[in-house]
Amino acid sequence: MNNRERLLEVRRFFERYTDEANPKTLEDLLEYLSTIGDTSKLAKKSVKDDIQALNNSGFEVQDELEKNGLAKKYWHSARLFEIHELRMMVDAIVAAKFISEDVTEEIVEKLQMLTSIPEAKTLQSIIKTPKKKHGHIPYHIDRIQRAIHERKAISFQYTDVVGFDVTKRTFPLRRDGERYVVNPIDLHWNHEQYYLIGIDESIGEVRNYRVDRIVNSEIVEDGTIRPKHHLPDDYYQKSFNMYNGSDEQIVLSVDERVLPVIFDKLGEDVSVSEHGERFLIRFDAAVSDGFIYWLLSLGSQVEVVEPLTLRDHMKATIEKMATTYENTSIHSSIE
């Protein structure tokens, strides 16, 4: 082991085996080096010079003052990420449904490499999220990002949400498996899912696609540079649960208790006025199934005032739901 190799091993020792709570002595370092090469002629001064060289290069190794005759201890400080920052990243990766079990494990192991082995053992998330064992979503995300950067189209097949095969436990492909060709505009994170927003070149309209439903994605290498498009500033605010819909002026009558939910969704600068014991909320939104599902989730605390077409649709939907529960229960037939 020459001097350069030894310096690299000294750095690796401090990176992987020390931190403020787990300092090590020079004897510990010499013992580690002896497992890698011959250290019979290695003097402590040489190792101290290595530590000084690391400090001079910007790799911080701190030491504590000698006291009561105890050996001085050393540890690596000033890491790229603090342990609490790594813990937040680990929790975010574990909580993300779209990241499969195998990819989650790979990423967490890489994050653990950014701290000492003792601290890495504490980076075990307590979050339990149902995940697929294997997945291709990270590869779709990579292709979409490259297509956006290179101004190329992305081609893929898209899974439907109807026609579930109970035996195969799969949904069929839309358009009988015909490939979509989309000029990608943006990749957006919403409600624990990634969405591709782009122009479907077969119809020339902006559409949203859930990345976890994309199959067999490819960058279109046809030599054509696609025009760069920009979404309106309020695109995501108007889009509920990433459903496409037609823009409408909406007026809601809401209970005071639901105002925090309204502000979370629409922003605190949304138009609000008092109306008796309730409040009127005015805003523009893309009326879609996603918007209607959101309104229904708020129950009687929210009433649609305008437009009348949406109010009538909400009334018909609620009556249909009520009828479903008024009918004879199917409970007896499934026992």
The CATH number assigned to the domain holding 198 equals: 2.30.30
From 196, 231, 266, the end of a domain falls on 231
DSSP 25-62: EHHHHHHHHHTTS--TT--HHHHHHHHHHHHHTT--EE
227 and 145 in a single domain? The answer is yes
From 49, 76, 103, the end of a domain falls on 76
Number of domains in the chain: 3
DSSP state for residue 226 in the 8-state scheme: P
Classify residue 90: in a domain, yes or no: no
Tell me, what amino acid is at 14? F
Provide the token pair at 70. Answer: 């105890």
Dist CA 46 CA 7 (whole Å) = 10
Classify residue 130: in a domain, yes or no: no
Q: 7 lies in which domain range?
A: 3-76
Contact residues for 316 (Cβ-Cβ < 8 A; gap 6+): none
Dist CA 29 CA 14 (whole Å) = 9
243 and 320 in a single domain? The answer is yes
143 and 200 in a single domain? The answer is yes
219 and 144 in a single domain? The answer is yes
256 and 220 in a single domain? The answer is no
Asked if residue 271 lies in contact with residue 217, where contact means CB atoms within 8 angstroms, the answer is no
Residue 206, CA atoms < 13 Å, CB-side half-sphere? 18
224 and 240 in a single domain? The answer is no
Classify residue 271: in a domain, yes or no: yes
Residue 329's pLDDT is: 67
pLDDT by residue for the chain (335 residues), tens only, comes to: 889 999 999 999 999 999 999 999 999 999 999 999 888 889 899 999 999 999 999 999 999 876 666 788 999 988 999 999 999 999 999 988 888 888 899 999 999 999 999 999 999 888 888 888 878 888 999 999 999 999 999 999 999 989 988 898 889 999 999 999 999 999 998 877 899 999 999 999 999 999 999 999 999 999 999 999 999 887 887 776 667 778 889 999 999 999 999 998 888 889 999 999 999 999 988 888 888 999 999 999 999 999 999 999 999 999 999 988 887 666 666 55
214 and 249 in a single domain? The answer is no
157 and 190 in a single domain? The answer is yes
Classify residue 156: in a domain, yes or no: yes
Beta strands 214-219 and 154-158 are: antiparallel
211 and 254 in a single domain? The answer is no
- The residue among 161, 314, 191 whose CA lies nearest residue 248 is 314
Classify residue 89: in a domain, yes or no: no
Beta strands 73-76 and 24-25 are: antiparallel
- Whether the model clears a pTM of 0.85, i.e. scores above it, the answer is no
Classify residue 63: in a domain, yes or no: yes
Asked if residue 288 lies in contact with residue 245, where contact means CB atoms within 8 angstroms, the answer is yes
The domain that holds 27 is classified in CATH as 1.10.10.10
Residue 138's pLDDT is: 87
241 and 271 in a single domain? The answer is yes
Residue 124's pLDDT is: 85
199 and 259 in a single domain? The answer is no
Classify residue 83: in a domain, yes or no: no
Residue 69's pLDDT is: 63
Per DSSP, the three-state class of 252 is: strand
- Dihedrals φ, ψ of 252, to 5°? -120, 145
Residues in the chain: 335
Dist CA 61 CA 12 (whole Å) = 12
Classify residue 95: in a domain, yes or no: no
142 and 226 in a single domain? The answer is yes
From 76, 106, 129, the end of a domain falls on 76
